[in-house]
Amino acid sequence: MPELRKDPILDRWVIIAAERGHRPLPPSGEAELPLMPNGPFTAGNEDKTPAEVFAVRPPGSPANGPVWDVRVVPNRFPALQVEGQVDPRAVGLFDAMNGVGAHEVIIETPRHDVDLSDLPPGHVEKVLTAYTERIRDLRRDLRLRYHCVFRNRGAAAGATLRHPHSQLIATPIIPALPKAKLAAAREHFRRKERCLFADLIDQERRDGSRVVLESAHHLVLAPYASRSPFELVVYPLRQCHDFTLLTDAERADLAAVLVGVLRRVRAALGDPAYNYMLFNAPSTSARPGRPDYWGTLAHDWRWHLEILPRVTGTAGFEWGTGFHINPVAPEEAAAFLRQAS
């Protein structure tokens, strides 16, 4: 019997349409993007990208030189541009503002022929350090309110290059999805004086059926109201609203968790395309008339990372209703991934 389930964070319903007890079968892999041994992100081709804004490289290695571990460069085809003022304005009944923001590419390794899950956790830790440092730096720009880190792996997930990379887009507004999550967390705390995410994590740890793995500092869940098969969320066990506040031990642990769970997804599902997105605290710089707009974040919010393997498409019913139909129950997905090596 199909079941409707409600996401407690976003007040969003999904349809779980799996037959109970039916073991999920791994889908076939998608066609790969071509390897580009001489692509713009490969070591030695630093002149093919804009000048780096951050890098993890050996001491003494010159900026924009060929010896590096992780590089961050402005996107050559940015969705938003750093120059200019926001200039919010009315256009009749509509609202508009200039496309001010930042769009950067985190080149995760000099190698073109690997994925993030192929890298050792120590190297992935450097990638996470790059996320942290770029968010910290961009927060100095008071025009920018939200900083979205995301990764598109595979053509079906929107990637245009196979070379391992993530992206960061900073926007002058808080987008609708993170804003809805932030508002739900704040309202839960207002009513109950407890963090919504802490309540959710406590319940899921007691239940156990949707837990994929738990480490010293992090928990990986298949959400109760998963939108798509094998959707996963990584939560910190410590109450931590801001990704940039991770300790060195937590960052190292997260790197190992991320590598481990991505390897499980690849082994279980035939190396699918996927997206992951970091939902972090927004900028807390004062706003006119709202000096404490996000003043409770440290108590009501917890950063988290969503992983969405792209194993099903979005069709007319989803677009027409907002309902997602998930043919794999999250309990089955979690059990399947727990068994994956």
Q: Which residues contact 193 (CB under 8 A, 6 or more apart)?
A: none
Query: Domain for residue 127, yes or no?
Result: yes
Cβ atoms of residues 304 and 235 within 8 Å: yes
User: Is 218 a residue whose pLDDT tops 50?
Assistant: yes
Range of the domain at 250: 3-19+36-80+95-339
User: Is 99 a residue whose pLDDT tops 90?
Assistant: no
More confident residue, 142 or 256: 256
Identify the residue whose tokens are 């390794």: 109
Query: Domain for residue 27, yes or no?
Result: no
Query: Domain for residue 30, yes or no?
Result: no
The CATH number assigned to the domain holding 226 equals 3.30.428.10
User: Is 195 a residue whose pLDDT tops 70?
Assistant: yes
User: Is 20 a residue whose pLDDT tops 50?
Assistant: no
Report the pLDDT value the prediction gives residue 23, as an integer from 0 to 100. Answer: 44
Identify the residue whose tokens are 């070379």: 163
Query: Domain for residue 88, yes or no?
Result: no
Query: Looking at the 3D structure of the chain, how many domains does it have?
Result: 1
Give just the sign of the alpha carbon dihedral 79, 82, 84, 88: positive
User: Is 325 a residue whose pLDDT tops 90?
Assistant: no
CA distances from 339 to 8, 11, 151, 212, 261 (A): 28, 31, 25, 9, 12
Helix ranges restricted to H, 196-287: 196-207, 248-269
Q: Per-residue pLDDT tens for 228-248? A: 999 999 999 999 999 999 999
Share of the chain above pLDDT 70, in %: 93
Query: Domain for residue 257, yes or no?
Result: yes
User: What is the secondary structure of 186-241 as a DSSP string?
Assistant: HHHHHHHSS-HHHHHHHHHHHH-TTEEEE-SSEEEE--TT-SSTT-EEEEESS---
Q: Which residues contact 188 (CB under 8 A, 6 or more apart)?
A: 194, 195, 196, 199, 300
User: Is 29 a residue whose pLDDT tops 70?
Assistant: no
* Least confident interval from 74-88, 118-132, 149-163: 74-88
Cβ atoms of residues 308 and 274 within 8 Å: yes
Element (H, E) at 134: helix 121-138
Query: Domain for residue 87, yes or no?
Result: no
Work out the burial of residue 286: count CB atoms within 10 Å of its CB; fewer than 13 is exposed, 13-18 middle, 19 or more buried.
exposed
Cβ atoms of residues 104 and 72 within 8 Å: yes
Structure tokens at 48: 């093919």
More confident residue, 318 or 61: 61
Measure the CA dihedral 270/303/126/114, to 10°.
Answer: 10
More confident residue, 226 or 1: 226
* Least confident interval from 18-22, 185-189, 198-202, 324-328: 18-22
Report the pLDDT value the prediction gives residue 198, as an integer from 0 to 100. Answer: 97
Query: Domain for residue 287, yes or no?
Result: yes
Q: Three-state DSSP class for 161?
A: coil
Report the pLDDT value the prediction gives residue 22, as an integer from 0 to 100. Answer: 47
Share of the chain above pLDDT 90, in %: 68
Identify the residue whose tokens are 């279980």: 268
Mean pLDDT across the stretch 211-217? 98
Mean pLDDT across the stretch 306-312? 93
Report the pLDDT value the prediction gives residue 26, as an integer from 0 to 100. Answer: 45
Mean pLDDT across the stretch 133-157? 94
Q: Per-residue pLDDT tens for 38-56? A: 899 999 999 999 999 999 9
Closest Cα partner for 106 from 144, 152, 65, 73?
Answer: 73
| Mean pLDDT rounded to a whole number for the chain | 90
User: Is 28 a residue whose pLDDT tops 60?
Assistant: no
**How far is residue 187's CA from residue 10's CA, in Å, rounded to a whole number?**
12
Mean pLDDT across the stretch 177-181? 93
The DSSP bridge partners found for residue 150 are 167, 277
Q: What is the distance in angstroms between the CA of the first residue and the CA of the last residue of the chain?
A: 31
User: Is 292 a residue whose pLDDT tops 80?
Assistant: no
Report the pLDDT value the prediction gives residue 16, as an integer from 0 to 100. Answer: 66
State the maximum Cα–Cα separation within the chain, in Å, rounded to a whole number: 63
Answer left, alpha or beta for residue 21, where phi above 0 means left and psi between -120 and 50 means alpha. Answer: left
Mean pLDDT across the stretch 193-206? 97
Q: What is the pTM of this model?
A: 0.91
**How far is residue 49's CA from residue 66's CA, in Å, rounded to a whole number?**
12
Mean pLDDT across the stretch 331-339? 94
Cβ atoms of residues 5 and 222 within 8 Å: no
User: Is 93 a residue whose pLDDT tops 90?
Assistant: no
User: Is 187 a residue whose pLDDT tops 80?
Assistant: yes
Burial 108-126 (b: 16+ CB within 10 A, else e): bbbebeebbbebebebbbb
